[in-house]
Structure 1
Amino acid sequence: MAPVQLLNWRHGWHFGPPAPCVLCGITTPLRSDAKEPVHKVCAELWIAAHPGEMRFVSNAPKGGATTDHG
């Protein structure tokens, strides 16, 4: 399995009404860029298990580069 890539999902559009995660089924307010309800950690683990696929992406950091992931 590839190393886990931490996603930057700090923008407000990554939140919505609670809905079942598309990967684990447990309720989450988080949304992917495609508006899929998904936990950030579920998306990060999916990315590690599916290298090269672009289902979940990280957003550019606000105000410059940072190593802090939200």
Structure 2
Amino acid sequence: MAPVQLLNWRHASHFGPPAPCVLCGTTTPLRSHAKEPVHKVCAELWNSRHPGETRFVSDPPKGGQTSDHA
């Protein structure tokens, strides 16, 4: 299995009214870029099990920022 890559879903567009997660069925306010109700953890696990797929993606970095936190 591929390593789990954490998603950056900080933008307000990733939130909506509670709805069942498309992957586990438990209620979540989170939304994917395609507006699917999905927990971030469920999406991250799905990505790790489906390498090369682009169903769930991170927000682009703001203003040229990188993901380096050092």
TM-score normalised by L of structure 1: 0.90
* C-alpha separation in 2, matches of 1:20 and 1:35: 12
Cα deviations by residue, 1:2-61 (Å, 9 ceiling, x for unpaired): 000100000000000000000000000000000000000000000000000110001113
1:66 aligned residue: 67
In the alignment, residue 46 of structure 1 is paired with which amino acid? W
Once superposed, what is the RMSD of the aligned Cα atoms? 1.2
Structure 1: gaps (5+ residues): none
Letter in 2 for 1:55: R
Structure number with bigger Rg:
2
Residue identity in the other structure for 1:12: A
Give the letter for the 2:19 counterpart: A
Runs of 4+ displaced beyond 3 Å? none
- Give me the whole-angstrom Cα distance separating, in 1, the residues matched to 2:33 and 2:44: 13
How high is the sequence identity, in percent, across the aligned residues? 78
Higher relative contact order (CA 8 A, sep 6+): 1
3-state SS of 1:43 partner = helix
Gaps of 5+ in 2: none
